[in-house]
Amino acid sequence: MIVEMRTYTLKPGTVATVEERFGEALPGRLKFSRLAGLWHTEVGPLNQIIHIWPYDSLAHREQAREAAVKAAGWPPNIGEFIIEAKAEIFVPAPFSPPLEDRALGLLYEIRTYTYAPGAMPTVIERWSEKIEARTRLSPLVGCWYSELGGLNKWVHIWAYRDYAERERIRREAVQQGIWPPRSGAGLLRQENALAVPASFSPLH
C-alpha cells in the first residue's frame, strides 16, 4: 500500500468554503478510491487543508485519478483559493495501523521529521522498540516514510480528544520514559501542525 498526502495552502479566510466545496464533490470521487482523512490546520502553518488517500499501488493511484477526472464533478471547484499545492507519496512503516474510518478525537497532530539519507532503517528499528507502549496512551493514526516528493521524510499522525489531553499524554509519555525513541538517527528537521477534521472526514 501507498499513501498520498496532499497539502493545499489557501488564501486566508477561504478554508470553510474550500471544505464545503470539497465535501460536495467528494461522493463522485469516492466511486474510484477512498479518502482516509481531511483536516484543516489550527496551529502551525495556517490556512492549509491536508488530505490523505490510500492506494494499493502507484498504478492504482493513476487509474483512480484518471477515472475521477473523466467523471463529472472532480476536482472540486477550489482552484481560485489555492496558493500552493503539494503532493507526496509515502510508504507505511511496519507498525503503522490500517487507515480505517475511525472516530478518534477532535484534534490531530501531524508531525513531519526529515532525516539524513540512509537513516530510515534505524528510525524504524528505534520506533519499533517504543511504539507499542506509546500507542497505549493515545492512538497512532499512521506513520509513513516518503517515497516520492520530499525525500527522507517521516510523517506520523496522532489523535487526541482536545488540546488538554494532548498536553497531558505527551507529558506522561516523557515522565514514564515511554517516549520519545532513542535519538541519534540523523534527525535534521522537525515540523508540526495541529489540525481539525472536516465534517466529512472518515478519520474524525
Average pLDDT, the chain: 96
Contact 83, 11 (CB under 8 A): yes
What cell was used for 93? 512503516
Q: Is 148 a member of any domain?
A: yes
The sign of the dihedral angle between the CA atoms of 111, 187, 151, 61 is negative
Q: Which tens digits make up the pLDDT trace of 21-39?
A: 999 999 999 999 999 999 9
| Rounded Cα gap, residues 15 and 170, in angstroms | 29
pTM for the structure as a whole: 0.95
Where does the pLDDT of residue 43 fall: very low under 50, low under 70, confident under 90, or very high at 90 and above? very high
Note the pLDDT of residue 72. Answer: 81
Number of domains in the chain: 1
Q: Is 36 a member of any domain?
A: yes
Which is it for strands 82-92 and 153-160: parallel, antiparallel or unpaired? unpaired
Classify residue 177 by burial, with Cβ atoms within 10 Å: 0-12, 13-18, 19+: exposed
What cell was used for 81? 483559493
| Rounded Cα gap, residues 112 and 118, in angstroms | 17
Q: Which tens digits make up the pLDDT trace of 180-191?
A: 998 778 999 999
Note the pLDDT of residue 185. Answer: 80
Range of the domain at 143: 2-197
Contact 110, 195 (CB under 8 A): yes
Contact 4, 61 (CB under 8 A): yes
Q: Is 203 a member of any domain?
A: no
Q: What is the CATH number of the domain that holds 83?
A: 3.30.70.100
Q: Which tens digits make up the pLDDT trace of 153-172?
A: 999 999 999 999 999 999 99
